[in-house]
């Protein structure tokens, strides 16, 4: 099987759409907990401002 590289393309001419309510996402809300310093993890949720459903989550030890 041939290996193909993964390409990331910046497209500022497109506006993403919420997969739940299909609203155009001109902005995305973020909610974070924790202090994000060394052993203390910082959890982050990204969610739609229209329907408030979670679009993604992450955790990091850096703020």
Determine, yes or no, domain membership for 19: no
Task: Read off the pTM.
Answer: 0.73
Task: Please count the structural domains in the chain.
Answer: 1
Determine, yes or no, domain membership for 45: yes
Determine, yes or no, domain membership for 23: no
Measured distance CA(49)–CA(54) in Å, rounded? 10
Give the number of residues written for the chain: 63
Domain extent at residue 53: 29-62
Contact 46, 56 (CB under 8 A): yes
Determine, yes or no, domain membership for 49: yes
CA 58 to mean position of chain CA atoms:
8
Per residue in 17-28, is it b (16+ CB within 10 Å) or e — as a string? ebeeeeeebeee
Quote the pLDDT of residue 38.
61
Quote the pLDDT of residue 21.
98
Measured distance CA(4)–CA(20) in Å, rounded? 31
Q: What is the pLDDT of residues 5-62, one digit of tens each?
A: 999 999 999 999 999 999 999 999 999 987 656 667 789 999 999 999 999 999 876 5
Determine, yes or no, domain membership for 42: yes
Determine, yes or no, domain membership for 15: no
């Amino acid at each position: 099987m041939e290996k193909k590289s993964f390409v990331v393309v910046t497209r500022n001419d497109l506006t993403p759409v919420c997969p739940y309510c299909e609203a155009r996402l001109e902005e995305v809300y973020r909610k974070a907990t924790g202090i994000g310093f060394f052993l203390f993890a910082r959890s982050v949720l990204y969610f739609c401002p229209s329907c408030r459903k979670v679009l993604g989550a992450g955790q990091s030890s850096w703020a």
